[in-house]
Amino acid sequence: MLNPLSTVQPPPPSAPSPVASAPPDCSLIDYPGRMAAMLFTAGCNFRCPFCHNALALAGPVRPGIPWKALDDALRRFRGNWVSAAVITGGEPTLHPGLPDLVRFLKARGFSVKLDTNGSRPKVLRDLLPSLDYVAMDIKCALADYPRLVGCPDPAPVAESVRLLVSSPADYEFRTTVLTSWHTPDTWPALADLLSGARRYILPPFLPRPEVLSPDLRDAPETPHAFLLKMQAALAPRLPVTLRAAF
């Protein structure tokens, strides 16, 4: 298949990019081993109760900052030795301009990481040759997606998993662990879904005032002992790493 990024013309400088916001400070934790610019898109097709970026969910997918303003921000990052960028959201694959954005970043020398929920495997497949790293969230066992995150058909999520597992691309799967969601009876289903994965990350849920569900804003942090138990149960089938939440 022809890489779609190779045929996209440069966007007009005044046109809106897919990036809703680009905070001025780089991240030291979102791109493994790299300082990274964080580029947030708006709009998401899931409604995860523990989402800490609920503002990105409000309203429809909408235009972002102009390409010229984004270019200026990227130049400032490069001037501060930042050479990686994370496209996150929201759900970036909802944006028709995402290929333009990846191409824009690569042309400026950035390594590009994409954060995705995996709901649009065709978009992921087309972009994968141009991405340096992909982080795909596995919200829960597939059977629970309709009830827990408002995704009526999780089959595309499973397709995206298979796509990454069979790809030479660098990637990780990650699940924000809640004791009420990820009970031991769901762990075999997670292991089945991610069979063959090279990297599976388990960060704990942390209560925050901005999470989408009011019921979770004062919920307890996932105990480390629970994470260790989940890691031990999955370890015979998956390479599991615990990661602190920030």
Specify the number of domains making up the chain: 1
| Geometric angle at alpha carbon 230, from 32 and 222, rounded to 5° | 75
CB-based contact 81:58 (threshold 8 Å)? no
Distances 136 to 15, 116, 214 between C-alpha atoms, Å: 29, 5, 25
Tens-digit pLDDT profile for residues 124-155:
999 999 999 999 999 999 999 999 999 999 99
Q: Give me the chain's average pLDDT, please.
A: 91
Q: Which domain holds residue 30?
A: 4-242
pLDDT of the residue at 192: 98
Tens-digit pLDDT profile for residues 1-45:
334 444 445 677 778 999 999 999 999 999 999 999 999 998 899
Assign residue 105 the CATH number of its domain.
Answer: 3.20.20.70
Tens-digit pLDDT profile for residues 193-244:
999 999 999 999 998 888 888 888 888 999 999 999 999 999 999 999 998 8
User: Which band of pLDDT confidence, cut at 50, 70 and 90, is reported for residue 103?
Assistant: very high
Collapsing DSSP to helix, strand or coil, 41 comes out as coil
